[in-house]
Structure 1
Amino acid sequence: MTDDTTLDRRRFVQATTAAGATLLLAGCSGGGGDGGDGSDGSDGSDGSDGSDGSDGSDGSDGGDTEYLGEEPDYGGWFDGANNYEQTVDATGQDEVTVEVGAGDGLSFGPAAVAVSTGTTVVWEWTGNGGGHNVSAESGDFESETVTEEGHTFEYTFEETGTQEYVCTPHEAVGMKGAVVVQ
């Protein structure tokens, strides 16, 4: 019986390890050679290097991030999402940058940002986390899936409201974002 028990335990460990690896790597096409990117934090992949959407407008990185006074009701959109803390207030700026592949490589940085009508949001790829895209739940915009660092995609928000978006390959692991247009 000891042999059967050991064999069952091995099968269980193998199955759960495979399931976990599949979940973590879901959609990471072309990411095989990038496994170490961002793990040492040297590229600022912790999301605190200006990825708060302020684009340096406050003259510093991360520590002086301004948040909205009253947090929008996202209706559960950010339940289980990566990197969501609060909505960054970037109203009054002409252009705002959001990192794609921030933090652990499977986040948007910031996850939620408030902008004024007419603001262009530029999503910039960090090169971490494999292949990412930016896809609005409304269907208003969608980028191609890209792995390379420095790639950008932009969209100008002309109407008030909340635009929720995802990285389609990593939606299942919580790679979600939102732009609140005021």
Structure 2
Amino acid sequence: MTDDTTLDRRRFVQATTAAGATLLLAGCSGGGGDGGDGSDGSDGGDSSDGSDGSDGGSGGDGGDTQYLAEEPDYGGWFDGANNYEQTVDATGQDEVTVDVGAGDGLAFGPAAVAVSPGTTVVWEWTGQGGGHNVAAESGDFESETVQEEGHTFEYTFEEPGTYEYVCTPHSSVGMKGAVVVQ
């Protein structure tokens, strides 16, 4: 019975976190400028998968979250990760924004994003969850650890591949992300 209660609490926390992140990001997404294609926050109805809110930053080039038709094999990278359900398809965009401190403050939003070569990913701090950084497992990039809202770090992805990254201070609690360049 304890396992069922724990599982129910986890589902409640995940659903509540996703709903809060969706509301937070819906309020923030209006500043992107290009907004246009139905950016009405309507992606909150994608069943109860907890990935809503990971939309946080497809760069202001539309509000409806689109996912890759075929999910990449991350080889278990996202086991135990916060806020990961599917990979957001942001291919064809010049710049993509990922929130640092999304959801309950201990997630990236979106956790996984697909981009085209030459795309710049901008990680933007929400100010939630304490001090965060963005550190590639490969060592290709690493930001400083910052807590303040609005801080940004960017990296331009030139080569195809999968780039896994973490928030070093919160990696043990599942604050992981990935950028797939295709």
Q: TM-score, normalised by structure 2?
A: 0.68
Question: 1:52-109 CA deviation, whole Å, 9 max, x = no partner?
Answer: 7998999999972100000000000000000001000000000000000000000000
Alignment CA distance shift 1:35-1:21 (3 Å):
farther
Structure 1 runs (4+) greater than 3 angstroms displaced: 1-63
Structure number, greater radius of gyration: 1
Q: Quick check: 1:101–1:128 contact (8 Å CA) kept in 2? A: yes
Flag structure 1 segments of 5+ consecutive residues without an equivalent. Answer: none
**Structure 2 Cα separation of the partners of residues 6 and 90 of structure 1:** 35
Deviation at 1:6, TM superposition (A): 24
Match of 1:56 in 2: 56
Q: Greater shift after overlay, 164-173 or 24-33?
A: 24-33
Q: 1:6 to 1:30 in 2, by over 3 A?
A: same
Listed one character per residue, the Cα deviations across residues 95-127 of structure 1 (whole Å, up to 9, x for unaligned) are 000000000000000000000000000000000
3-state SS in 2 of match to 1:150: coil
More helix by share: 2
Question: For each residue in 1:16-40, what CA deviation from the matched residue of structure 2 results, as whole angstroms up to 9, or x when unmatched?
Answer: 9999999999999999999999999
Is the deviation greater in 101-110 or in 11-20? 11-20
CA RMSD of aligned residues (A): 10.7
1:35 maps to which residue?
Answer: 35
CA distance in 1, matches of 2:115, 2:5: 58
With structure 1 as the length reference, what TM-score do the two structures score? 0.68
Q: Is the 8 A contact 1:67 1:88 kept in 2?
A: yes
Q: Are residues 16 and 164 of structure 1, via their aligned partners in 2, closer, same or farther at CA, if it must alter by over 3 Å?
A: closer
* Bigger relative CO (Cα 8 Å, ≥ 6 apart): 1
Number of aligned residue pairs: give it. 182
User: Cα gap change, 1:110/1:62 in structure 2, threshold over 3 Å: closer, same or farther?
Assistant: farther
Say whether the 8 Å CA contact 1:31–1:129 is kept in structure 2. no
Question: Is the alpha carbon distance of 1:3 and 1:133 closer, same or farther for their aligned partners in structure 2, counting shifts above 3 Å?
Answer: closer
> CA distance change for structure 1 residues 177 and 10 in 2, over 3 Å: closer, same or farther?
closer
Tell me the percent identity: 91
SS at match of 1:43: helix
In structure 1, the residue matched to 2:164 is 164
| Counterparts in 2 of 1:119 and 1:17: CA distance versus 1, 3 Å | closer
